[in-house]
């Protein structure tokens, strides 16, 4: 039995040649089809040089199990999510490594209804069957065809999230990072303009290019933010938008080029939805919560906490019927988008909200950032994650006014709180700190805990 180390907590990701190749992709495709009993599967891919061959291999594995493969070609992960339900498929796969290094690739997978595979049962069964190398043969032969009309249907769906008549004249700077976002953005943009949206756009690094001549598209990294920020200022744009490689994450810059951290965008989108659906549920992760909870409370919504990670947030979204869910990592989930994450719906909602409010993103966010300053996520490589958490707990827990173990350890005090958790995807310890109106306190506590770790 071969140990396939490309299987991670929720999806597949591995180093090319060592952990993932065409033979492995073919076997995973066949195992996926067999475990789900799939007859129809949607298949998409990102722009990486290896994605075409890996996607073809996945298709071969699916076809060997009698599956009808609906091929999206170059597409975003969210287009696969949408198309899986739109075409009433039994599953969907997007071959993508998103923001991982050049020598990596992977797959994101869903079952019928665009629901994530249960990591402990379904994903584990796919792994075990793929590792066994003995996937039962099927008599029926499958087929592959283009998923005709998929993008047009997707564009129509995402535009249903906004009222185009509420939009005000605005200039956007968009940075696709040479990933998969460009063509999909263009399709949405053309539809917006055709419907009379009073918007203009400047495109940066827009052409898909798997060699990533301007670096791996991951706008969450501080070193990747100045190029978008500078372009926003140089072009006199009202708003900057950037995406990662498979554009399931969306990042914002105000007109001054300031990067807006994901946790504040969660609060902003929560407000947008609660204006349209009073009393609705809003899901958030446990890392940075005070800003979101205050907004949801003030707007009459119901704040619901979930463990960090898309599989957990989607499960809570489906169980509670929450209208929206957001993570500080810039994953945003929408009940009416098959309870999945999208990197295109958020910017549409923000543009609409700015039009309705008649304010800049900077003005909208400045008050929130000042009210609840946060540290951003700090990562630590430690020898023993559990022992490190226990050490911090022994020092701080006694004086905490509340504790929460939804995901790692969260301790709250009168004027500040922290969350310390093991990464779901890497051997790291992740720390987030927030405070009430005191940025200096955030830095003080960050320095304190850094020294201890």
Averaged pLDDT for residues 338-362: 97
Q: Which residue has the higher pLDDT, 139 or 110?
A: 110
pLDDT (0 to 100) of residue 141: 86
pLDDT (0 to 100) of residue 426: 72
Q: Which residues make beta-bridge pairs with 85?
A: none
CA 79 remoteness from chain centre? 13
Averaged pLDDT for residues 93-105: 94
For 143, other C-beta atoms within 10 Å of its C-beta total 13
Q: What percent of the chain has pLDDT over 70?
A: 100
Give tens-digit pLDDT for 130-144.
Answer: 999 889 888 788 999
Beta-strand relationship, 416-422 and 429-435: antiparallel
Task: Name the average pLDDT for the chain.
Answer: 96
pLDDT (0 to 100) of residue 425: 66
The residues assigned a catalytic role are 98
Give tens-digit pLDDT for 187-242.
Answer: 999 999 999 999 999 999 999 999 999 999 999 999 999 999 999 999 999 999 99
Q: Which residues make beta-bridge pairs with 219?
A: none
DSSP 46-73: -S-TTHHHHHHHHHHHHHTTT-EEEEEE
Residue 413, exposed/middle/buried by CB under 10 A (0-12, 13-18, 19+)? Answer: middle
Task: Name the band, by pLDDT with cuts 50, 70 and 90, for residue 343.
Answer: very high
Alpha-carbon torsion angle 242, 371, 364, 275, nearest 10: 100
Averaged pLDDT for residues 59-74: 98
Averaged pLDDT for residues 51-70: 98
CA distance 262 to 365: 11
DSSP 165: G
Averaged pLDDT for residues 335-355: 97
pLDDT surpasses 70 at 370 = yes
What is the sign of the dihedral through the CA atoms of 27, 28, 29 and 35? positive
CA 376 remoteness from chain centre? 17
Averaged pLDDT for residues 10-24: 95
Task: Name the band, by pLDDT with cuts 50, 70 and 90, for residue 45.
Answer: very high
Nearest CA-CA partner of 59 in 35, 81, 85, 91: 91
pLDDT (0 to 100) of residue 257: 98
Instruction: Please report which residue ranges of 9-138 form alpha helices under DSSP H.
Output: 22-36, 51-63, 77-86, 124-132
Domains and CATH numbers, the chain: 12-148 (3.40.120.10), 154-371 (3.40.120.10), 378-452 (3.30.310.50)
Averaged pLDDT for residues 341-352: 98
Nearest CA-CA partner of 118 in 273, 11, 246: 11
CA dist 198 to 169, 183, 186, 217, 352, Å?
5, 21, 16, 28, 11
Give tens-digit pLDDT for 267-325.
Answer: 999 999 999 999 999 999 999 999 999 999 999 999 999 999 899 999 999 999 999 99
């Amino acid at each position: 039995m071969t140990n396939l180390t490309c299987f991670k907590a929720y999806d597949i990701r591995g180093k090319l040649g060592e952990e993932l190749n065409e033979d492995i992709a073919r076997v995973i495709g066949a195992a996926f089809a067999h475990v789900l009993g799939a007859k129809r599967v949607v298949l998409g891919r990102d722009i990486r040089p290896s994605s075409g061959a890996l996607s073809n291999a996945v298709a071969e594995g699916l076809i060997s199990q009698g599956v009808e493969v609906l091929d999206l070609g170059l597409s975003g992960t969210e287009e696969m999510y949408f198309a899986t339900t739109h075409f009433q498929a039994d599953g969907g796969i997007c071959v993508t490594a998103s923001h991982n290094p050049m020598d990596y690739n992977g797959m994101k997978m869903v079952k019928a209804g665009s629901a994530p595979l249960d990591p402990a049962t379904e994903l584990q069964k796919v792994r075990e069957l793929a590792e066994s190398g003995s996937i039962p043969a099927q008599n029926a032969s499958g087929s592959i065809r283009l998923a005709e009309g998929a993008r047009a249907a997707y564009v129509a769906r995402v535009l249903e999230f906004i009222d185009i008549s509420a939009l005000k004249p605005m200039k956007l700077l968009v940075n696709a990072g040479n990933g998969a976002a460009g063509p999909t953005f263009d399709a949405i943009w053309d539809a917006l303009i055709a419907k009379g949206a009073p918007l203009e756009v400047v495109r940066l690094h827009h052409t898909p290019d798997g060699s990533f001549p301007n670096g791996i598209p991951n706008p969450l990294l501080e070193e990747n933010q100045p190029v978008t920020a500078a372009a926003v200022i140089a072009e006199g744009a009202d708003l900057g938008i950037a995406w990662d490689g498979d554009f399931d994450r969306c990042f914002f810059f105000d007109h001054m080029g300031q990067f807006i951290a994901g946790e504040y965008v969660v609060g902003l989108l929560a407000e947008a939805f609660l204006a349209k659906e009073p009393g609705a549920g809003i899901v958030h992760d446990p890392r940075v919560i005070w800003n979101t909870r205050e907004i949801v409370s003030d707007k009459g919504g119901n704040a619901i906490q979930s463990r960090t990670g898309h599989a957990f947030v989607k499960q809570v979204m489906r169980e509670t019927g929450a209208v929206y869910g957001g993570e500080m990592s810039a994953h945003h989930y929408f009940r009416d988008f098959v309870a999945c994450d999208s990197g295109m719906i958020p910017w549409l909602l923000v543009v609409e909200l700015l039009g309705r409010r008649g304010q800049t993103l900077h003005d909208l966010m400045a008050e929130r950032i000042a009210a609840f300053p946060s540290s951003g996520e700090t990562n630590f490589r430690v020898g023993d994650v559990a022992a490190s958490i226990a050490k911090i707990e022994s020092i701080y827990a006694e004086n905490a006014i509340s504790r929460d173990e939804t995901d790692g350890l969260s301790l709250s005090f009168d004027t500040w709180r922290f969350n310390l958790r093991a990464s779901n995807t890497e051997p790291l310890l992740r720390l987030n700190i927030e405070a009430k109106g005191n940025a200096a306190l955030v830095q003080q506590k960050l320095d304190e805990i850094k020294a201890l770790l």
